[in-house]
A and B are shown apart, each in its own frame.
Chain A
Amino acid sequence: MDNQLDYLFRHQYGKMVSVLTRVFGLAHLETIEDAVQDTFIKAMASWRTGMPDHPKAWLMQASKNRAIDLLRKIKADDNRARNWQSGIAAVALNELFLDEEIEDSQLRMIFTACHPSLKAEDQIAFALKTISGFGTREIAAALLSKEETVKKRLSRARKLIVKENISFSLPDPKQLKSRIGRVLEVIYLIFNEGFHSINKEQLVRTELCGEALRLVKLLLKKETYRLGEVYALFSLMCLHAARLDTRINENNQVISIRDQDRSKWHIPLIDLGSDAMVKAAELNSNSTYLYEAVIAVEHIKAKDVESTDWEHILYCYDKLYELQENPMHLLNRAIVLMQLNKYDEAKHQLDALEPSFMQQRQYLYHCAMAEFYICIDDIIMAVHSLDQAIELVTNISERNYLIEKRNRIHVQLQN
């Protein structure tokens, strides 16, 4: 998707923090992050005249040297500090900087970030900072929070890690499923925020989607983590990501799926997603991510909105709700019913829902209602519903889209 070096510093940040945490332990996380920051500042000065031949290796070596410096600064108990300079310890240090070990350290960091002891809101902030190398300002923008809030979340997470004495390790095989489940939830949220942001300015944040994909790929590298639901999440993200470029145009306007240029949907991602889906289905046909992936693939397969297999999508939403009583599934199900011209059923479904559960996405409920009223030709109520949606929507592009839609159908009232 992106040029490998575009996010060089970010990715290297995550890797180096993970490796150094493996060496020194979670208690020294803040010192480690400062140290890694220093290596970048040095790189900035040193690379002014141009990129070195092997920037990743340069950064790794710099952080290895920093590790040895840190050893002198951090007050180690016994004579551990002195031992690191000796032969055996030096070999051990070098081992941790090997590729597979770096990956292992990153995985440990992911599981630490998504540890059940941490509060849900803190997990994402912590993950984005320590693994994805996002700055606090960037995280605040991504999560529609204030920078101060993000700093508090990070601080709370770090304190809790020390207080609960969370170890920097991979989960016990007995708890693997539930621990991976938490990780997948966090990654899903990161992707979701990138795919359809509640952020004011930018509706689509490709780098968050890219980051989510990168994290799942990291999980999949380890054979024991190749669970059905991991493949399923990967599949679903690839399939959605394939459409990312067509969701907004150069003028930052929203393009509905009706009008997206399907020829521009990214085939390599579709192929990746489809392959992953097959693996997912073979391993675990009952994950919510799999049903979401199947829904995504139905949209991808269809020539246009009318020829989409809505019956199959309806079935998927039924299964989704069976597995996960999330009212969002019912909302989506109502919209599918409208595509099948089952307006009474759709209205019934919508009336049973309480929009306040949707918090920042509440406007979607009113959008669905508007769709219903348009289907039954009640333009007055449709305009009223859109007005409510416009009141609640936070993103500028979406608001403009809704205003334009409202004005368009409002004209019909005058005729």
Chain B
Amino acid sequence: MKDFMLIFVGAPYEELGLSPQDMQSRMAKWQEWHAKMDKLGIVKGGNALHAKAKRITSTDRVVSDGPFVEAKELVGGYYVVKAENMDAAVEIAMDYPDFDLEGGVEVREVIVFG
């Protein structure tokens, strides 16, 4: 088993003008997904991220305020899950609830050293 990070990319909820009912049903899908993975024992962790960002670049360590990308390319959060291989990890990512909001998932294998 390997570790994979599922990186969620999409416009932050604050910008989408979702109605309370929209948010509730969307949240239910997130809960279902988590419960499903939890049952299989494959979730290692995860977090949602605030949209506000600071970026530090160049050897001068310049600190600039974000966000820096087009809203729909913003990283909103991640899960770290256990899977046999990339295909299996991609399969897990299929349950991401926000595809219809033009969101997406980037799946990356975590490097294990030693």
Instruction: Tell me, in angstroms, the Cα distance from A137 to B30 when the chains sit together.
Output: 22
Instruction: Tell me, in angstroms, the Cα distance from A161 to B23 when the chains sit together.
Output: 28
A68 interfacial by beta-carbon distance below 8 Å? no
Known: A38-B14, A41-B13. A48 touches B21 (CB 8 A): no
Contact A135 B31 (CB under 8 A): no
Contact B19 A44 (CB under 8 A): no
Type the 1/0 row for B1-35, where 1 means its CB is closer than 8 Å to any CB of A. 00000000000011001111111101100110011
Find the B residue at minimum CB distance from A36.
B20
Contact B27 A43 (CB under 8 A): yes
In the complex, which residues of chain B have a beta carbon less than 8 angstroms from the beta carbon of A136?
17, 19
B56 interfacial by beta-carbon distance below 8 Å? no
Chain B interface: which of A3-11, A90-98, A354-362, A364-372?
A3-11
Partner of A48, one of B17, B19, B22, B34: B34
B53 interfacial by beta-carbon distance below 8 Å? no
Instruction: Tell me, in angstroms, the Cα distance from A38 to B12 when the chains sit together.
Output: 11
Partner of B17, one of A13, A50, A133, A135: A135
A232-246 residues with Cβ-Cβ distance < 8 A to B are none
Known: A38-B14, A41-B13, A41-B14. A47 touches B27 (CB 8 A): yes
In the complex, which residues of chain B have a beta carbon less than 8 angstroms from the beta carbon of A12?
20
Find the A residue at minimum CB distance from B43.
A49
A1-44 residues with Cβ-Cβ distance < 8 A to B are 7-10, 12-13, 37-38, 40-41, 43-44
Type the 1/0 row for A35-63, where 1 means its CB is closer than 8 Å to any CB of B. 00110110111011111000000000000
Instruction: Tell me, in angstroms, the Cα distance from A43 to B26 when the chains sit together.
Output: 11
Contact B21 A7 (CB under 8 A): yes
- Interface residues of chain B: helix, strand, loop or mixed (majority): helix
Nearest chain B CB to A147's CB is how many angstroms away? 10
Nearest chain A CB to B66's CB is how many angstroms away? 18
Find the A residue at minimum CB distance from B22.
A135
Contact B34 A133 (CB under 8 A): no
Instruction: Tell me, in angstroms, the Cα distance from A133 to B24 when the chains sit together.
Output: 12
Q: How many residues belonging to A are interface residues under a CB distance threshold of 8 Å?
A: 24
In the complex, which residues of chain B have a beta carbon less than 8 angstroms from the beta carbon of A133?
19-21
Instruction: Tell me, in angstroms, the Cα distance from A38 to B27 when the chains sit together.
Output: 14
Instruction: Tell me, in angstroms, the Cα distance from A38 to B13 when the chains sit together.
Output: 9
Contact A48 B20 (CB under 8 A): no
Nearest chain A CB to B22's CB is how many angstroms away? 6
Contact A135 B20 (CB under 8 A): yes
Instruction: Tell me, in angstroms, the Cα distance from A375 to B105 when the chains sit together.
Output: 64
In the complex, which residues of chain B have a beta carbon less than 8 angstroms from the beta carbon of A43?
23, 27
In the complex, which residues of chain B have a beta carbon less than 8 angstroms from the beta carbon of A44?
13, 23, 26-27, 30, 48
14 residue pairs A–B, Cβ–Cβ below 8 Å: A9-B20, A9-B21, A9-B24, A10-B24, A37-B14, A43-B27, A44-B30, A45-B48, A48-B31, A49-B38, A135-B20, A136-B17, A137-B19, A138-B19
Instruction: List chain B positions with a Cβ less than 8 A from chain A.
Output: 13-14, 17-24, 26-27, 30-31, 34-35, 38, 46, 48, 77
- Given A10-B21, A51-B31, A135-B19, 4 other A-B contacts at CB below 8 A? A9-B21, A48-B30, A49-B38, A135-B22
